[in-house]
Amino acid sequence: MSIDFLRKGRFNPSANDVFFMNADDYAIMDPAAEGFINQLDRFVNRHKSSQVKRLKALKRYYLADNDIRYKEPKSDKTAADNRIASDFARYITIFEQSYMLGKPVVYKNAADTTLQEEIDDFSKQNNESYHNVLIKTDLSIYGRAYELLYVDGDENNVQVRLARLNPEQVFVVYDDTVQRNSLFAVRYYRVRYEEGKFRDFVEVYTNDKVYYYRNDNQEAGGMKFVEETTHEFNGVPVTEYASNEDRTGAYEAVLDTIDAYDLAQSELANTQEDFNNALLMIKGNPFTGSDDNPVIVDDDGKEMPNPNFIGNVVAQMKQARLLIMDDNPDENGAEPDAEYLTKTYDSAGTKAYIDRLVGDILRFTFTPDTSDQNFSGVQSGEAMKYKLMAADNRRVTQERLFERGLMRRLRLAVNVWRIKGNSSVNYDAINDTEILFTPNIPQNVNELIANVKSLYGIVSDETLLELLKQFTGVDADEELKRLEKQKADNQLMFNGQTNDYPNPDQEGVIEDGDE
């Protein structure tokens, strides 16, 4: 594969379009009928032809398989042609997801403690903190991410499960109203069985059903309806997350700058290699032997290298690190001389150019430069805030969009819990759930503790313990329980009692040796 490196447009103008369909047209369609199947086929082909190329290219950069690897080779086949791909995309992605979700999301629902327990159990059963990291990683790469909710277990133990879907194989179709409600989601994929034999599968998720389609490559009829199943989520069980309104990836805007950096680093390596393999230019008349025969025959009739052959003489001089040159017989000719042909390398200018590219990549992706010596070391909280201000502004926007997806996840899960779960739980209280994000930044512990001490007596103990959670890692509610237990234990000890052992002085307690 070859590309137009650093030229022309990178992606199709429709590469990030959202799919829409008129709600009335969708309402009268039968998912098993030919008309809907044809419309579905057009949606899938449109996604493949106009959007998948962009998604795959962004994933390539995340894997450090940058466009520099597919640049046209140099016309001079003897020149060095190194291809060095940088890993900026992964660096930016990992920073984003760690900064936002390095500390897991916390759910708080004070309206119903039983519902809080269900949410906590749901989070634990699905290893939600890691699942969220996967979703956030896709957001940073593709600018969009998808998750599927499905039901697992039997009637006595229904579990709502989460699955991350590959954005290269999924899209959601919305209605054309201002609310932009999701009509259905489509997941398509291909399974290869052997050389030349494969099957294409398509799954359509609606508000109450899942429709399955299949297309065998041996069949001429195209995609066919296979079966349908029902679900009880009362909504499309596929949620689309977006990193921003344009659904662009974290490093998508600086792909050209990353390519320029890769090119600069590659040419720097080429310069070094060409310098090591520089041509030796000889001026004048060097002593290069007097015989044109490469081999001679000794007295026994055996062939051996001719020491006076021009090629052998030059090889011997190079091996001896010595160049012998005759006087030039042409008195008007050049004086005998030899030197290597090398390019002039502007070390300072090259370094300044590369540093400027690095600065642009980090600045335009709102990524702090942690290699900056002024960034490291012990920093006050205020100083750190200024260095992270741009990243913080971006994070806050992304958290709001992420929170919208998390709330949709909970509402879908509640629709199943309401049917299969505890009837005494107030499931309507799900809308009172508070979602808390904590940015994962280095903390000056001494400064944090000093600030908490200065607030003692001004704010509640619970607020102070919430601030200290960054240091202790213990929730404020749990810490309050521990404090209450510690206070009770201290009181018992003051009275000569403990929670673990009976007091021998109490009536009815038999001491050792008593009968």
- Is 169 exposed, middle or buried, given 0-12, 13-18 or 19+ CB atoms closer than 10 A? buried
Distance CA 181, CA 20 (A): 10
- Average pLDDT in the chain: 84
Rounded to 10°, the helix 113-125/389-420 angle is 110
DSSP SS3 for 327: coil
Residues 144-149 have a mean pLDDT of: 97
Residues 263-278 have a mean pLDDT of: 84
Residue 289 per-residue DSSP state: -
What are the tens digits of pLDDT across the range 155-193?
Answer: 778 899 999 999 999 999 999 999 999 999 999 999 988
User: Per-residue pLDDT for 323 more than 70?
Assistant: no
Q: Which residue has the higher pLDDT, 326 or 435?
A: 435
Distance CA 43, CA 37 (A): 10
Split at pLDDT 50, 70, 90, the class of 235 is very high
Lookup: tokens for 202: 């398509």
Lookup: tokens for 341: 């042909």
What are the tens digits of pLDDT across the range 417-470?
Answer: 988 877 778 888 999 999 999 888 766 667 667 777 787 878 787 777 777 776
